[in-house]
Amino acid sequence: MSRKKARIGQMQALFQMEANKDFSKDCLDIFIENSSFSEDEKEYIEENTIEAMDYLESIDRTIIDNLQNWSFNRLANVDKAILRISVYEILYKEDIPAEVSINEAVEISKEYGSNESPKFINGVLGSIYRSLNQN
């Protein structure tokens, strides 16, 4: 299994859910059924997306609290999905070092986001990382 491919799948699932304003298990199931990921990647996407949805309010609050001069509602859906995955991993996945999650988010944003996305994503996640390490 490629964890990077699985993260990309998770980003795509969250992007679709945000676009449809439908964060249901049914929406996730449709995404997974229509994807071409390997079985273990599909399992990773499903498990981690469901868990991220369980914590979505806390994840979004963490992102909002670390946006400077920017509105959460103005974020591009791709950037929002990438941030949600990384913040989920930073806050709730102890087996993934925060630095790895941040690096993966920046790399995925280079491929799927705008030209400004990598710098923006890195800045927001860096702020979150620093605020967590001050406590």
Question: Using one digit for the tens of pLDDT, what is the confidence trace for 90-120?
Answer: 999 999 999 999 999 999 999 999 999 999 9
Question: Which of 40-49, 62-71, 84-93, 113-122 shows the lowest mean pLDDT across its residues?
Answer: 62-71
- So what's the pLDDT on residue 69? 85
Domain containing residue 15: CATH number: 1.10.940.10
At residue 135, does pLDDT exceed 70?
A: no
The range of the structural domain enclosing residue 31 comes to 3-133
Task: Output the CA angle 42-77-32, nearest 5 degrees.
Answer: 15
Number of domains in the chain: 1
Which one has a higher pLDDT value, 2 or 8?
8
Give the Cβ contact number of residue 132 at 10 Å: 13
pTM: 0.94
